[in-house]
Amino acid sequence: MNINSEKVLVTGASGYIALHCITELIKNGYKVKGSIRDLSKKNKIKNFLKLNSDDDKFELCELNLLKDKGWIKAASDCDYLLHIASPCVIKEPKNEIDIINPAVQGTLRALDAAKKTNIKKVVLTSSLGSITYGHQKSICKPTDWTDISEDIGSYIRSKTIAEKTAWDYLNSFSSHPFKFTSINPGLVFGPPIANKTKSTSVNLINKMIEGEFPALPNIFFSIVDVRDVAKLHVKSLNNNKSDNKRIIASASESTHFLEISKILRNLGYKKSPLNSVPNKLLNLLGIFNEDMRISYNMVKRGYFSVDNSETKSIFDWDPIPLQKTLEDMCNSLKK
């Protein structure tokens, strides 16, 4: 462990990615202040992290993405800020504003708190979804943006708008008030730290191995291991080469949904589906169901790749292979 007296504010501390980031920060000697919406859950989170209740390396505070209360105070004794908290859904909400508003307002509150305190750098957890959708580019780069005028779904729209809002906020100053990096992960898999998690990707794998899906749509995903995502967040704090960059955190080649299922089958999960949903059927169902329509639009996106060469260069990054990611994830879920 490195000796480090610096403290990092991590928003959304109970989340799948955030718990891995906190673990990685503590391993690297940082002190951590995690924010949650309800402090009554603080002991549960410390149990997940296997920390003593009086451990001075970690503390918790209460913050809400939609409320001003507490943000300045939370950031005032911290050196860095990882803004990870954001709503994550698969099923389309009745009103997309319920997803977009917390994502955007929470991002602005985090940035404003950083500006008004002594935060040296903010690392924002964005998404590869803010880069790869609403267009048909075969190779997506950090300079690309998702076209939110297309039918891309509420989650992808919320992440794109929130990240654009962050860059617009920074660029409204003649010189940035703090250093800034956005991390743009693909679909995040890997072993969860919490024994129960609301993570979309963890629930997806659970449903696949339990045989809850008779068939899968012909969708391609660009995938990354949650442990790699955490390391890239932490390494970004003191790596000046990542300043003012959008960091693609994902495998370069996208993977077909059924390929994920085949790996699960090879790992012994024989209930994982082997059949595809016909594209025509998905298109037809999309007339009556918004979730099906969004899925069909992802099907139409087809195969794509991403240029992660800059990420590999800046961080000397060698991504964890998908086979190991899924194997470790499933072994963790068994426990």
35-70 tens-digit pLDDT: 999 998 888 888 888 876 557 799 999 999 999 999
By percentage, how much of the chain surpasses pLDDT 90?
74
AA identity, residue 305: S
Q: Supply the pTM of this predicted model.
A: 0.93
pLDDT of residue 233: 98
pLDDT of residue 297: 74
Rg (CA), the chain: 19
DSSP track, 287-332:
TT-HHHHHHHHHHHH---EE--HHHHHHHT--PPPHHHHHHHHHHH
The tokens 């100053």 sit on which residue? 173
- CA–CA gap between residue 247 and residue 260 (Å, rounded): 24
What the chain holds in terms of domains, given with CATH numbers, is: 7-334 (3.40.50.720)
Contact 193, 48 (CB under 8 A): yes
Predicted confidence (pLDDT) at residue 195 exceeds the cutoff of 80: no
Chain-centre distance for alpha carbon 20? 11
Contact 51, 59 (CB under 8 A): no
Predicted confidence (pLDDT) at residue 286 exceeds the cutoff of 80: no
Which sign, positive or negative, has the C-alpha torsion 196, 197, 198, 202?
A: negative
Per mean pLDDT, which range of 71-75, 147-151, 266-270 is the poorest? 147-151
HSE (CB half, 13 Å, CA atoms) of 21?
Answer: 32
Predicted confidence (pLDDT) at residue 19 exceeds the cutoff of 80: yes
Chain-centre distance for alpha carbon 251? 14
DSSP track, 68-95:
-TTHHHHHTT-SEEEE------SSPPS-
Which sign, positive or negative, has the C-alpha torsion 273, 224, 196, 269?
A: positive
